[in-house]
Structure 1
């Protein structure tokens, strides 16, 4: 019993320390953003006269309205297509037991080891030869391909745990393959799909490397990618830069906080099945 209490307190202490490590950088950004423009605040010192207008100034200076629209278009181009492709591929690899599925799955697993930085140079020339350089498609199409290994792995992990008897019963009732997929398996896969959609949204919204390498116009980038141009223009104004960074982070934090219960429940469901 004593050992159990020690383990519990150790776990709680570790969680508190982890929370502090996670939260302190955001608190530092927030406090710094409230200092007068052009100043160089030190540490977590709260300003005597908080400059809340820095957020409005950063929004106007960085043209956040245009960047928000650009990021929304990129997310709408990446997430739905990725979910559709990953769901169909995961269903084929995990439930249909198609011929050669192990080899195909191995190729997807190998794709998980491929870092963005390792392919950025050949990807640049490929996008250039396709005539897509400096367009949003230069971000959308590569992201769909780069997200596929993880997305297919995620959806296969769900479909492989669905009982085969469920499909047999649906076939006996006269369901064809499309009806089996769309009316039976997709509704059951909604927890996995929703959690995957959240991850893809966060990764797409925060995409920085592809945005700055493949697109020159900041208005065609993601909000995170446009931060590089904003930093180049306002890099000496630390409070304004911190305010812009928080505005860029705000949508991802809002989405995660809004759907965190569904995301955690999907993870727990997968762990229980596994």
Structure 2
């Protein structure tokens, strides 16, 4: 028993330090967002004199964070819906159906996971410009779907491959077509994986800066993360307002992690075990 306590301390101390290093930036940002410009200039590290949300309200109303927030919510919702629809269809087909070229197709999708966005950035921008989709919400949604669909298909294919074949066979014997099996059997069975993958894709799209900055050059259509990035240049002499914008962008992600951390972990390990 005495030998296990030092081992626990060896693991606990680094984990505690890592947790502190993770939490401190959020605490520091929150403290700065509560300060006035004068308080920040005098001492940026001291606690705020009063708990005031004036900077948050100003960032939300005057700076335009409310518009950026709604833009992000709309784009993320549309992107995740399409990703789950196409990803579940492809995952069911590749995981449970056998057709000529299915293995090669899955390997091609797997290979797409290793292609950095920077490699396809210029061709994507030229294609979107030629089709008139630059600076439009459909263009950004399509860019997100194209970027994150291979990841979605990979996880859902791995999950659907673990579903017993007897379930599919029984559904076909009962008279269901392939589409009936997908709609009546596979979608309900895959609900946990769909929730996990949906949460992960929502976080990917919400935190993205590069794709949104490329596809949405106008200020009116900016997403939240791009809007926060632009604040750093516009309010370089008003750091509390900038910190308030960062706080607005971070709170939804923090809420998702706090309440859906189990689903996020399940999504990372979806299909890795059977049963």
TM-score (norm 2): 0.91
| Equivalence for 2:243 | 242
C-alpha displacement at 1:58, in angstroms? 1.3
| Equivalence for 2:164 | 163
> Is contact 1:32-1:41 (8 Å) kept?
no
| Equivalence for 1:181 | 182
| Equivalence for 1:215 | 216
Matches within 5 A, 1:1-274: 1-37=1-37, 39-40=40-41, 44-265=45-266, 270-273=271-274
> Is contact 1:218-1:225 (8 Å) kept?
no
Q: Distance in 2 between matches of 1:64 and 1:147?
A: 26
C-alpha displacement at 1:7, in angstroms? 3.4
- Change beyond 3 A, Cα 1:44–1:4: same
Q: Distance in 1 between matches of 2:4 and 2:268?
A: 26
SS in 2 for 1:79: helix
- Change beyond 3 A, Cα 1:108–1:205: same
> Is contact 2:159-2:270 (8 Å) kept?
no
SS in 1 for 2:260: helix
C-alpha displacement at 1:146, in angstroms? 0.6
C-alpha displacement at 1:269, in angstroms? 6.4
Q: Please report the RMSD computed on the Cα atoms of aligned residues, expressed in angstroms.
A: 2.1
Q: Distance in 2 between matches of 1:265 and 1:146?
A: 22
> Is contact 1:219-1:226 (8 Å) kept?
no
> Is contact 2:128-2:134 (8 Å) kept?
yes
> Is contact 2:34-2:48 (8 Å) kept?
yes
- Change beyond 3 A, Cα 1:266–1:231: closer
SS in 2 for 1:118: helix
Q: Displaced runs of 4+ in structure 1, greater than 6 A?
A: none
Count of residue pairs brought into register by the alignment:
274
Q: Distance in 2 between matches of 1:112 and 1:262?
A: 22
Q: Distance in 2 between matches of 1:132 and 1:190?
A: 32
Return 239-248 or 206-215, whichever deviates more.
Answer: 206-215
Q: Distance in 2 between matches of 1:131 and 1:216?
A: 13
Return 43-52 or 141-150, whichever deviates more.
Answer: 43-52
